[in-house]
Amino acid sequence: MNIILAETGEVDAGRLTLTDHRAKHVVKVLRAEIGDCVRVGLIDGEMGLGTILAIKKKYPFSVEMELDLRDSPRAQPFLDLILALPRPIMLRRILSQVTALGVGTIHLINANRVEKSFWEAGILEQEEYHVHLLHGLEQAVDTRLPSIQIHPEFKPFMEDLFPTIAENYQHLLLAHPTGGQRLGDVIDSRNGRITLAVGPEGGWVDYEVKKFQEQGFCNCSIGERILKVDTAVIALHARISALREVVREVK
């Protein structure tokens, strides 16, 4: 936990009182004392410092601090993710990791190789996935929560919804093991937003690839090795980010 995150409603007259796992972290991990400052941020709001005014070091832990939040949230990440719904345990890892790396919107969609039982998982409830997003923000020292949008039907998402948002993106990337293009040949600008579509274990079926291509997606691969979804998402994000940096240096 590299930043203490709080809801706006928890702040009263510029002061924040913690009595949960955050207080335990301040006491046990940070080993803070009265007068010390810790990094604090409001979810989807400003960041800054909290000066500890009072602290109770024995269970039940409590910490009271005065906030000085002057830093704006980080800029919206350039990348949005379209993700075929993975198995719940994998989704938990992905949500935390991509939030730490930076992602604007995560569209969870259906696909031919997505098991129906996945759609009944508790992780799709807001109170369940919210925790994993917060873990990512705490790691990255950020306050801007990704937007999670859930689409249980593939065709309506591709034919009805996506065309209404496609113009928001500079690049549309479809990750597929047999993709005919390399990311380095596609990403030619450091400006504009990118949406990346990553399929389920086993990949997209031909029908799904066709639907993406009809919407203007470039069918890309990052190499001959077949990766697990959670590994592929992180590798793709890192590769895309690196390529944008290369383009920035060249231009």
Give the pLDDT confidence of 180-194 residue by residue, as tens digits: 788 888 887 677 899
**Are 119 and 172 within one domain?**
yes
Q: Which helix (H) or strand (E) holds 37?
A: strand 37-42
Give pTM, 2 decimals. Answer: 0.92
**Are 64 and 97 within one domain?**
no
**Are 116 and 162 within one domain?**
yes
Which is it for strands 105-109 and 147-151: parallel, antiparallel or unpaired?
A: parallel
**Are 31 and 148 within one domain?**
no
DSSP β-bridge partners for residue 55: 63
Q: Is the peptide bond before 200 cis (omega within 30 degrees of 0)?
A: no
- Give me the number of domains the chain comprises: 2
The domain boundary, picked from 33, 54, 71, lies at 71
pLDDT number for residue 223? 77
**Are 152 and 32 within one domain?**
no
**Are 60 and 101 within one domain?**
no
For 58-72, what is each residue's pLDDT tens digit? Answer: 999 999 999 999 999
Q: Which helix (H) or strand (E) holds 153?
A: none
**Are 155 and 209 within one domain?**
yes
Tell me, what CATH number does 179's domain have?
3.40.1280.10
Give CA–CA dist 70/52, Å, rounded.
Answer: 17
Tens place of pLDDT for every residue, the chain, 251 residues?
Answer: 999 999 999 999 999 999 999 999 999 999 999 999 999 999 999 999 999 999 999 999 999 999 999 999 899 999 999 999 999 999 999 999 999 999 999 999 999 999 999 999 999 999 999 999 999 999 999 999 999 999 999 999 999 999 999 999 999 999 987 777 888 888 876 778 999 999 999 899 999 999 999 999 999 887 778 889 999 999 999 999 998 886 554 44
**Is 133 in contact with 95 (CB distance < 8 Å)?**
yes
Of 144, 139, 141, 212, nearest to 176 by C-alpha is 212
**Are 101 and 19 within one domain?**
no
The residue range of the domain holding 179 is: 79-250
**Are 112 and 232 within one domain?**
yes
For 207-240, what is each residue's pLDDT tens digit? Answer: 999 999 999 999 988 777 888 999 999 999 999 9
**Are 61 and 150 within one domain?**
no
Tell me, what CATH number does 50's domain have?
2.40.240.20
**Are 30 and 101 within one domain?**
no
